Structure 1
Amino acid sequence: MKRWIKWMTGAAFVLGMGVAGAAEVLLGAGDVVKLSVYGSPDLSIETRVSESGHITFPLLGQVEVGGLSVAAAEKKIAGQLEKGGYIKRAQVNMLVTTLASQQVSVLGQVNRPGRYPVEGRRKVLDMLALAGGIHGDGGDMISLVRTRDGETTRETIDVVDMVRKGELDRDYEVAGGDIIFVERAPRAYVTGEVSRPGPFRLERGMTVQQAISAGGGLSPRGSDNGIKVTRRDPSGKPVTLDAQAGDAVQVDDVIVVRESWF
């Protein structure tokens, strides 16, 4: 599983390199920009886009730039300078120094959790690569929380299944403000006469025999007869069942290996 996660991270990085810069960045609240006007050094400023999407510019006062590309914002400011009679054929240059609005939070079981900029078109796999990939304790299931048109939704993505099948069209494009959360891998427990009793990572389709192997195998006194598993029924009540080596293990199962009588 760990080798697979490393491969998936590398694949995501390569894919991300291919799409970066494919779309224009739109200005938003918190972005910091430097502005200059050719031939008018007194109009050079550095300012932050307000929560309402405005900047304060000399001579013009409040100018709404939220949701505009850099080129569109330059054109708008130049047009207002010309319309106001301040400058003829104004040439405005804007440089984004901090892209705070276009960031995605990557949290949970990743190697470098934090906020990462969305540069061009990015998808979930791209952002996971930026965050250093999925941690060894990370699971296959990832949650994507995003707000579009005022509505917040949560998508669940099985990234390992998606990459294994080569169905990358199932990946989601992200935007500023989105949250990616990598869940912890499901666990079960093995106790009794095994070499390493305790919790273990529950892999897909894992059997009781494989769970015992994850616990280091039988101890010198352990027996593969009379194995029990305790799990919760649909009502949440714990029940103890006889288990065979080939039985499937479920999340939070407790497998008990008994001592051999011989």
Structure 2
Amino acid sequence: MNKTKLLWLILIFVLSWMIFVGSAVAGKLKESVIGPGDTLKIFVYGHPDLATDTKVSETGNITFPLLGEVFVGGLTPSAAERKIVNLLESRDILRKPQVNVFAASLQSQMVSVLGYVRNQGRYPIEGKRSLTDILAMAGGIMPDGGEVVTLIRSDGDKSTKEVIDVLEMIRSSDLTRNLIVRSDDLIYVERAPRFYIYGEVQRAGAYRLERNMTVMQALSVGGGLTQRGTERGLRIQRRDAEGNLQILTVNSSDWVQPDDVIYIKESLF
């Protein structure tokens, strides 16, 4: 064998080993813990009679041949493998067994998605899943959905709330706000803010309020003025922080706020 061929073989071996190790490490980093309702597949090399499909009970136990009930709640599949190996050895059932535990389904690791997404429901989180991953799994935000998402998380006896501006996060490329979700998190997508327009416009009604939308832009969304409409004396009905209704005179360049009601008067001439 010449030196060039030998070097190529060594290089291929090293690259293959690096890929194998990298995949193994990545797999370990993405492991989720086992919980009630999860289904596990367990194999023992050289002992097909011990192959088991088992479901984790509400108390975190599984039933395994020759061992009976084994508590695996809160363990990763790798930790469960080590525990079963230790039990088989300590009870003199097998010597140096090779055990593999695979999570067929992780029903205990679920996150709820509600509100204005295409598919509301509960979704599994195997490994690390970000907020945008879960939104994608739910089919994305609906056209009527808002750009601000609320994540509610239970930490023991108290709950915390995170409000994430998804659009701003994407525009600024600030993915530090793309939080890693946890089991039992609740993600809620509210309806997008709206404004209302009536009077002498082509299409009176309720419309989605875009960011930094001006009164002029709002008028264009409503199809513009009718032949009898006028921009003079534009009025907006708006509630203040205390909920009191105010009637404001505005210019076409002023910004529209959520739930504003824009009234277009009829021209007198």
* Among 178, 183, 197, the residue aligned to 1:190: 197
2: CA distance between counterparts of 1:183 and 1:162? 17
Q: How far off is 1:198 after superposition?
A: 0.7
Change (3 A) 1:210 1:22: farther
2: CA distance between counterparts of 1:73 and 1:20? 15
Does residue 1:75 correspond to 2:106, yes or no? no
Change (3 A) 1:150 1:235: closer
2: CA distance between counterparts of 1:171 and 1:150? 25
2: CA distance between counterparts of 1:41 and 1:64? 22
Change (3 A) 1:125 1:21: farther
Considering fraction of residues, name the structure with more helix. 2
Does residue 1:148 correspond to 2:193, yes or no? no
* Among 177, 198, 208, the residue aligned to 1:201: 208
TM-score by length of 2: 0.83
TM-score by length of 1: 0.85
After superposition, give the CA deviation of every residue in 1:173-230 in whole Å (9 maximum; x if it has no partner): 1122211111110111001111111111111221211111111111222111122111
Q: How far off is 1:20 after superposition?
A: 9.0
Corresponding position of 1:24: 31
Corresponding position of 1:216: 223
Residue aligned with 1:86, SS: coil
Which residue identity does 1:231 align to in structure 2? R
Residue aligned with 1:96, SS: strand
After superposition, give the CA deviation of every residue in 1:211-252 in whole Å (9 maximum; x if it has no partner): 111111112221111221111123212222222211221111
Give the RMSD, CA atoms, in angstroms.
Answer: 2.0
Change (3 A) 1:150 1:54: farther
Corresponding position of 1:247: 254
Corresponding position of 2:111: 104
Preserved CA contact (<8 Å) 1:188 1:202: yes
Corresponding position of 2:20: none
* Among 51, 54, 57, the residue aligned to 1:47: 54
Q: How far off is 1:21 after superposition?
A: 8.0
- Is there any run of 5+ residues in structure 1 with no aligned partner, and where? 1-18
Which residue identity does 1:74 align to in structure 2? E
Q: How far off is 1:134 after superposition?
A: 1.5
Residue aligned with 2:136, SS: helix
Preserved CA contact (<8 Å) 1:20 1:121: no
Preserved CA contact (<8 Å) 1:20 1:122: no
Q: Highest Rg: 1 or 2?
A: 2
1: CA distance between counterparts of 2:217 and 2:93? 77
Change (3 A) 1:21 1:171: farther
Preserved CA contact (<8 Å) 1:37 1:44: yes
Which residue identity does 2:152 align to in structure 1? V
Pick which of 219-228 and 31-40 moved more.
31-40
- Count residues in correspondence: 244
Change (3 A) 1:54 1:152: farther
Preserved CA contact (<8 Å) 2:199 2:265: yes
Preserved CA contact (<8 Å) 1:21 1:119: no
Corresponding position of 2:182: 175
Which residue identity does 1:190 align to in structure 2? I
- Is there any run of 5+ residues in structure 2 with no aligned partner, and where? 1-25
